[in-house]
Structure 1
Amino acid sequence: MKYSSKKDWWLGLVIWGAVGYGAYISTYALVTEKANLLGILITVIINLALIGFISWLWFTTYYILEEKELIIRSGPINKKIPYREISSAHKSLNPISSPALSLKRINITYQFGMALISPKNRDEFLQKLSERCPNATIKYD
């Protein structure tokens, strides 16, 4: 079962606003400074790469509950966590960097670490996760 990441509107505003502002500033600098062809090419390539990378993260962040493992996808991140390794999961507002596009997150603790994810429907996700991880401590509050 695939769950898309919840996307906070304000986070989208910050991320896309920063990308747009960076593109504006670099374009403005090119126009006012009369840049040479190499400068223009480098600026365009960097801007396109940044927009492409942010788009990749924004549009490909999701989570899949497979038969034997949880798959976390976000751009270049492709993490697989076997259900037998998951020890707990609970709702969280932890703001540290993670493959989540919302601060309404789920903190999953497993044998080799911790993952923060933000599926659109946290309660449904936790319910389905608890069905697959009967030995894990799953908290809904």
Structure 2
Amino acid sequence: MRFKSRKDLFFPVFVFGISLLFIGLSISKRIEKDIRLNSFLWSDLILLSVIIFIIWLHYSTYYELSKTQLKYKSGFLKGTIEIENIREIIKNKTLWVGIKPATATKGLIIKYNKYDEIYISPKTNDTFIQEILTLNKNIKITEA
């Protein structure tokens, strides 16, 4: 079963803010150095690349449950986790450091193997948890 990533207001505001910052920096550099506004700079290419990358993350993030694996993909970040190795899921909490193929806050922190964890943000946390519990009833669910 495939789950799309939930998108909250934080992600588009972040994208818009970063874009405006880079555009402002680019324009101010041009004014400082008296460069024509219609000339193309390498910084414009970097800016465009960053914006395209963030938009790619926004639309390509999803999670897929099979009988034995949880697969995740977000841009170039992709991987699989064996469902039998999942120990615990912490619900409605945000992980700020680590592997985060997510586009929203208050998602799920999945702890697997001995010390590994990943943060995901499916459209509905409850539906995802119900589905994964049908595959492995030994997963501990905790509320943040």
Query: Same-fold call, TM > 0.5?
Result: yes
1:19 aligns with 2:19: yes
Change (3 A) 1:115 1:104: same
1:132 aligns with 2:129: no
Query: More helix per residue: 1 or 2?
Result: 1
Match in the other structure for 2:87: 87
Match in the other structure for 2:121: 118
Q: Residue 26 of structure 1 aligns to which amino acid in structure 2?
A: S
Q: Alignment identity in percent?
A: 27
Number of aligned residues: 139
| Matches of 1:45 and 1:135, distance apart in 2 | 49
| Matches of 2:142 and 2:133, distance apart in 1 | 9
| Matches of 2:16 and 2:66, distance apart in 1 | 32
Match in the other structure for 1:52: 52
| TM-score, normalised by the number of residues in structure 2 | 0.84
The answer for unaligned runs of 5 or more in structure 1 is: none
Calculate the aligned-residue CA RMSD, in Å: 2.2
Runs of 4+ in 1 over 6 A off after TM superposition: none
| Matches of 1:11 and 1:48, distance apart in 2 | 17
The answer for unaligned runs of 5 or more in structure 2 is: none
Q: Greater CA deviation, 27-36 or 83-92?
A: 27-36
